[in-house]
Amino acid sequence: MHKTNTGSMVLATASQAPRGEFLSKRARALKVSPTIAMSQRAGEMRADGIDVVNLSVGEPDTPTPMRIVDAAHEAAKKGHTRYTAPDGHQRVKQAVQTKLLRDNKLAYDLNQIGVVSGCKQAIFNALAATIDVGDEVVLIAPYWVSYADMVTYHGGTPVVVTAKQEDGFLPDIRDIAAALTPRTKWVLLNSPNNPTGAVYPCALLRQIGDLLAQHPDVMVLSDEIYEHLTYDGAEFVSFASALPDLKDRILLVNGASKAYSMTGWRVGFAAGPAWLIGAMARVQSQAAGSSNMIAQFAAVEAMEGDQSDLQVNRQVLKRRRDTAIQILSKCTRLGVCPLGGAFYIFADIHKCLGLSTADGRVIKTDSQMSDFLLDQAHVATVPGVEFGCSPYIRLSFAVDDDDLTRACNAIVAACNSLKLPDGADQI
């Protein structure tokens, strides 16, 4: 603070903030989530009157089903507006218990279930509760943008195994084996995968389980938030369902956000050994306390009520995926293929690298490609480097049909507008 001319005290302005070194090294190393950053840029352009289609955000455009909204209204009217236990109200834990038994044939006690403010917080709490400086976490690239930063923030070291496009973005078990060391704490899996849409078959899950049976100190964190979003007969299998003998070494993370169009309600859950769920609850109790009680009761309706919305949403998303693939495939400079889950296309843009824009800028990276598409096509995407895999761009097809069609056509036109740099005979 500083004194005004009248001697009163006011808070220091941003320009008078302490030097950068005042912040912790961990805070200085953090950046805003790339998907959020790109979405913010798109919002700023819209505010300036530019018609931008935002394909960067991982959020369904469909409204939350009214049955869930009504349940929240009723919960509020009944006075369910208080704190709950840090790891969730018993009623919503029971709903998670019911969901896991119905959908995954998995039985968990209530003390093996924790409910927090979204899938992201469940993962953060798990790492906070278990990672010490120097511990390693094996990530399968392409991976969700926040995994590596979360690991690093807690003092851990991400160890990246790259899944190749020619293998359907599924990891080679030999690469996972090579990544394991005495310092490995976790193997973090995500199926259906963000950003690729890859769905891990049961046979691969069992291969991973057989490998980890030889490493009894390694845990598996299985991010299953896109469980209900699969297409073309792809079958989702929970890691704990595939490996019941390893259940006490598996933390399942899931939530209401994607399947039930409840991203802003912030309700996620974790299921795993009681000792770990308890430790995560202690982290939660100091970090934020309980998640929103009204939203928790809305999630009860989401998980226990009529599930027919899920099939309708899958049909809509599959139609949109097929539309996007059909349009983008017209451009020979883009490599796109339909995969079995989530709501993203992870497009290979290596044929665009080395080409020049109309104003003479040469596209050298997928980050530059995303910038070009935002500036030229007015379409927001996320570069593959943020997912640990280049050169790709991720785009979401969970948007309005007309906007999606317009955006994909604009992407194709922008890619086709790229030229060889002046004086170049070939790339």
Structural domain boundaries, residue 348: 22-63+309-414
Domain final residue, candidates 263, 281, 304: 304
Query: Do 202 and 327 fall into the same domain?
Result: no
Regarding whether 300 and 375 lie in a shared domain, the answer is no
pTM over 0.75: yes
Q: What is the CATH number of the domain that holds 171?
A: 3.40.640.10
Q: Express as a percent the part of the chain with pLDDT over 90.
A: 83
Pairwise CA distance, residues 346 & 169, whole Å: 10
Say which residue, 73 or 12, is predicted with more confidence: 73
Same domain membership, residue 377 and residue 290: no
Domain endpoint, select from 304, 325, 344: 304
Please tell me the number of Cα atoms within 13 Å of 130 on its side-chain side.
28
**Quick one: pLDDT at residue 23?**
85
- Which residue type occupies 190? N
Residues 381 and 313 in one domain: yes
39 band by pLDDT with thresholds 50, 70 and 90:
confident
If pLDDT is split at 50, 70 and 90, which confidence band does 3 have? very low
Is there a domain that residue 32 lies in? yes
**Same domain, yes or no: 387 and 322:** yes
Residues 52-107 have pLDDT tens digits of 999 998 899 999 999 999 999 999 999 999 999 999 999 999 999 999 999 999 99
Amino acid at 216: P
How many residues in total does the chain contain? Answer: 427
Residue 376 DSSP one-character state: I
Q: Examine residue 4 and state whether it is found in any structural domain, yes or no.
A: no
Please write the tens of the pLDDT for every residue from 262-299.
Answer: 999 999 999 999 999 999 999 999 999 899 999 999 99
* 215 plus 79 within the same structural domain: yes
Count of domains for the chain: 2
**13 is a domain residue:** no
- The answer as to whether 100 is a domain residue is yes
Q: What is the mean pLDDT of residues 196-222?
A: 97
- Is residue 183 domain-shared with residue 40, that is, in the same domain? no
Mean of per-residue pLDDT scores for the chain: 92
Model pLDDT for residues 348-404, shown as the tens digit of each residue: 999 999 999 999 999 999 999 999 999 999 999 999 999 999 999 999 999 999 999
The verdict on 252 and 119 lying in the same domain is: yes
**Backbone torsion region of residue 344, taken as left when φ is above 0, otherwise alpha when ψ lies between -120 and 50, otherwise beta:** beta
The verdict on residue 12 lying in a domain is no
Domain co-membership, 201 together with 165? yes
pLDDT of residue 18: 60
Asked whether the predicted pLDDT for residue 10 surpasses 80, the reply is no
20 pLDDT more than 60 = no
Mean pLDDT of 325-333: 96
Residue 233 sits in the same domain as residue 260: yes
Q: Is 424 inside any structural domain?
A: no
Residue 17 within any structural domain of the chain: no
Other residues' Cβ atoms within 10 Å of the Cβ of residue 329: 15
pLDDT-derived band at 19, boundaries 50, 70, 90? low
Q: Residue 333: give its domain's CATH number.
A: 3.90.1150.10
- Pair 239, 148 in one domain: yes
Residues 83 and 171 in one domain: yes
Binning pLDDT at 50, 70 and 90, where does residue 337 land? confident
103 domain-assigned:
yes
